[in-house]
Amino acid sequence: MPNQSELVTVGSQQSTQDKDVETINRLDAVQMALRVLCRTTGLRIALVARVTGEAWTACAILDEAEFGLKPGDELPLHTTY
């Protein structure tokens, strides 16, 4: 069973991650950049992700391909490129 300090650390990391996702996702400039990336590359999905040593977390997404990712979705780092 985790001790009290481990629980606080996990809670703090989650809180920081949630704040990062919220902050990035609400920036109009980020949404504009994602639209420009899709138009100039011909891709139908563009995103900004928060990457740590363990996980990849989607922060802002333009998903015209209907891939299904949403802000806050997390993938284990070893499953990403």
Contact 74, 57 (CB under 8 A): yes
- Which runs of consecutive H residues, i.e. helices, occur in the chain? 4-25, 28-41
74 or 1: which leads in pLDDT: 74
Residue 10: band (very low, low, confident or very high) from pLDDT cuts 50, 70, 90: very low
At residue 7, the pLDDT reads 36
Residue 14 confidence (pLDDT): 64
Average pLDDT over residues 8-37: 82
The answer to whether 56 and 77 are in contact (CB under 8 A) is yes
How far, in Å, CA of 51 to CA of 12, rounded? 16
The encoded tokens of residue 5 equal: 């300090």
11-33: average pLDDT: 85
For residue 3, pLDDT beyond 50: no
63 backbone dihedrals φ, ψ, rounded to 5°: -120, 80
